[in-house]
């Protein structure tokens, strides 16, 4: 693998390799040799993804080159390509990029020889988020085959929905969407269900926030949205005993889910964030071709 841009063309074997490597990363520190540098080029805001890449790089022994948009030459008009090419010329061994364009990677892939990781592309894809979501599901259920997974929220504007729909379908899960009118993405051949049906029948309910930054205006009031399309206390009580709740965060508390459910027993939201560090360590290690360890029996370790 040269770059990590999309889950669309990842085989099941490649995904399992990432998940197994991520699980092994709990017990690994400082094993990337040669004084490598990673440039974290975040052109859009981030708390979790940026910080967990920084921690992942530090855990691996890689030097993180920080990049502050407002203090960079982007404010003088420098392009994404010239910024990335500059970091490559100065010595970055890895580029981690988040940008508001859905297809920013078209400007870099094939033109930059340094490995590139997509840390979020507009409303296109967020493949490292998908891998940490998959790791959290796999730790819980040990398999994806025939697992019923609902992705509920602003599907149309969600890069998380897109990356997870590709990967979960590849792994044999039964994926459905739940969305308020106007938030559907009809380009998918994935069934839509109501939020009630999703909560009553699914093993995993993955909630998404309304992507306000990608809307001119949102046609829903907060309370109405929660009652009609969100995870209320009543819907959570009707979920199956074993069912779990995921959310990529940040959570708009009281909008897509009742604030009391953010840390309820079924919530794995903070577990997802922890898994983000191991997953990003794994992806970096695989891209830099530095994984030489044998995988333990992953399924056994998760139980």
Q: What secondary structure letter does DSSP report for 253?
A: B
Of 83 and 129, which CB lies nearer to ligand CP in the complex structure?
A: 129
List the end-to-end C-alpha distance of the chain, in Å, as a whole number.
30
Binding of residue 153 to ligand CP (CB under 6 A): no
Span of 65-73, 194-202, 224-232, 243-251 interacting with ligand CP by CB under 6 A: 243-251
Task: Kindly state the smallest distance separating residue 133's Cβ from ligand CP, in Å.
Answer: 10
Binding of residue 222 to ligand CP (CB under 6 A): no
Alpha helices in the chain (DSSP H): 12-24, 48-60, 80-90, 127-141, 159-170, 195-201, 222-229, 233-238, 269-287, 298-302
Binding of residue 63 to ligand CP (CB under 6 A): no
Binding of residue 212 to ligand CP (CB under 6 A): no
Task: Kindly state the smallest distance separating residue 197's Cβ from ligand CP, in Å.
Answer: 26
Element (H, E) at 147: none
Binding of residue 47 to ligand CP (CB under 6 A): yes
Binding of residue 129 to ligand CP (CB under 6 A): yes
Q: Known binding site for L-aspartate: residues?
A: 76, 159, 209
Span of 22-30, 46-54, 77-85, 200-208 interacting with ligand CP by CB under 6 A: 46-54
Burial code of 172-194, b = ≥16 C-beta within 10 A, e = fewer?
ebbbbbbbbeebebeebebebbe
Task: Kindly state the smallest distance separating residue 260's Cβ from ligand CP, in Å.
Answer: 21
Cα–Cα distance for residue pair 134/114, rounded to 1 Å: 26
Cα–Cα distance for residue pair 230/223, rounded to 1 Å: 9
When binding is defined by CB under 6 A, the residue of 46, 58, 107, 201 that contacts ligand CP is 46
- Per CB under 6 A, residues contacting ligand CP are 46-49, 120, 129, 248-250
């Amino acid at each position: 693998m040269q770059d990590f841009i999309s889950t669309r063309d990842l085989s099941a074997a490649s995904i399992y390799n990432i998940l197994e490597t991520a699980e092994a990363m709990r017990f690994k520190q400082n094993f990337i040799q040669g004084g490598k540098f990673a440039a974290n080029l975040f052109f859009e805001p981030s708390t979790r993804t940026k910080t967990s890449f920084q921690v992942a790089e530090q855990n691996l022994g890689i030097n993180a080159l920080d990049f502050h948009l407002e203090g960079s030459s982007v404010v003088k008009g420098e392009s994404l390509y010239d910024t990335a090419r500059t970091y490559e010329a100065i010595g970055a061994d890895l580029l981690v990029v988040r940008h508001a364009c859905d297809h920013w990677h078209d400007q870099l892939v094939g033109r930059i020889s340094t490995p590139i990781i997509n840390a979020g592309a507009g409303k296109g894809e967020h493949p490292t988020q998908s891998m940490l979501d998959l790791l959290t599901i796999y730790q819980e259920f040990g398999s994806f085959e025939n697992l019923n997974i609902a992705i509920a929220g602003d599907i149309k504007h969600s890069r998380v929905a897109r990356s997870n729909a590709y990967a979960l379908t590849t792994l044999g899960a039964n994926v459905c969407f739940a969305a308020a009118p106007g938030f559907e993405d009809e380009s998918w051949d994935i069934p839509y269900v109501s939020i009630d049906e999703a909560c009553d029948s699914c093993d995993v309910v993955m909630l998404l926030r309304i992507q306000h930054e990608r809307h001119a205006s949102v046609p829903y009031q907060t309370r109405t949205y929660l009652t009609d399309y969100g995870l209320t206390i009543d819907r959570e009580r009707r979920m199956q005993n074993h069912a779990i709740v995921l959310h990529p965060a940040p959570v708009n508390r009281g909008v897509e889910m009742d604030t009391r459910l953010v840390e309820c027993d079924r919530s794995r939201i903070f577990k997802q964030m922890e898994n983000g560090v191991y997953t990003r360590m794994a992806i970096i290690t695989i891209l830099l071709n530095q994984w030489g360890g044998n995988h333990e029996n992953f399924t056994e370790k998760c139980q």
